[in-house]
Structure 1
Amino acid sequence: MKVAFLDRDGTINRDYPDDVWIQIQYPEILPGAIRGMKYLKEKGYEIIIVTNQYIIGEGIISIEQYHEFNSKLLALLIENDISILDVFYCPHARTEQCDCCKPRSGLIKQAIRKYPEINLEESFMCGDSLSDMKCAESVGLNFWGIGIGKQRISDLSDLCNLV
């Protein structure tokens, strides 16, 4: 199975400063995200979201707020005929030094354990931060960076010409 591992905030959904997240009620899909994800699905990719959510562990938002927001995001994507295979998230504070906080590879490894049919050679990761890029590199995934890295793109729709 080939998978597009996508970061959430700053890649699919607008990102905000940490202290603003407490006020955010609804997802704001970034330009190009819907088009790019539809293209990936048409090309046979499953989409798995991998996201650091240290704002849970640091007490900025509750786990319930995270799940409520994420449910709204997934519903918006379904309304646009985009199914997400799964979402893996790290809820730990940055000081916890867990295995799942990107740039560590724990979220990808969780996905591989749950879906052993994932073929990393046919898969890739896309995100907007150096931690996303380093996570991808640590497991041998090709990486497309929104505004960063050697394979730089401006938004997910740029993948329509690349994969």
Structure 2
Amino acid sequence: MKIAFLDRDGTINKDYPDKDWKDRTVPEILEGSIEGLLLLRELGYEIIIVTNQYIINEGIITITQYHDFQHNLLKLLKSNNIEILDTFYCPHTDADRCNCKKPKTGLIDIALKKYPNIDLPSSVYIGDSICDQELAFQFELKFFEINGHHFNTYYHSINEVVLTNREFL
């Protein structure tokens, strides 16, 4: 099974400064994300979201707020015919010294244990940060950069990442 591992905030939905997450319940989908996710599915990828959510342990949001936002995101994606295979999140801060906060490998390690038929050489990683890139590198995944809050000159949406790199996927 080939997987498109995707970061969440700044890749699928808009990201905010940490303190502004407190009252967020409804995701703002980035332009082109729906089309890009549909194209990934069309290309035969299952989608797994891997996301750092240290604002939980920092006390900015509660675990319930995280789950409410995530539920609303998945519901919105499903209403656009996008099924997400799974989501793995890390609630830890650096002080927690966990093994799952990206770029550490724990989130993908958990995915590999849960889904042993993942074909890593056929899988890709799409994210918006250096920690996403570093995590992809550790698993030798093809990495495609997107940046939702300050677009770089290469990729302006998941859709453009997929279209630009279709021959590589």
> Does TM, scored on the shorter chain, surpass 0.5?
yes
Unaligned residue ranges in structure 1 (runs of 5+): none
Deviations 1:22-67 (A, max 9, x none): 0212100000100000001011100000000000011110000000
Give the alignment of 1:4-153 within 5 angstroms.
4-147=4-147, 152-153=154-155
Count the aligned residue pairs. 161
Question: Hey, what's the Cα distance between the residues in 1 that align with 2:145 and 2:134?
Answer: 11
Deviations 1:65-118 (A, max 9, x none): 000000000000000000000000001122212110001111011100000000
Amino acid at match of 1:90: C
Say whether residues 1:161 and 2:164 are aligned partners: yes
- 3-state DSSP of counterpart to 1:47: strand
Moved over 4 A (4+): none
- 3-state DSSP of counterpart to 1:54: coil
Unaligned residue ranges in structure 2 (runs of 5+): none
Shift of 1:139: 1.2
Amino acid at match of 2:163: C
Aligned-pair identity (%): 52
Question: Hey, what's the Cα distance between the residues in 2 that align with 1:94 and 1:82?
Answer: 33
- 3-state DSSP of counterpart to 2:163: helix
TM-score (norm 1): 0.95
Shift of 1:153: 2.1
Shift of 1:20: 0.4
Shift of 1:154: 2.0
Question: Hey, what's the Cα distance between the residues in 1 that align with 2:95 and 2:145?
Answer: 26
C-alpha root-mean-square deviation of aligned residues, in Å? Answer: 1.4
Question: Hey, what's the Cα distance between the residues in 1 that align with 2:25 and 2:77?
Answer: 16
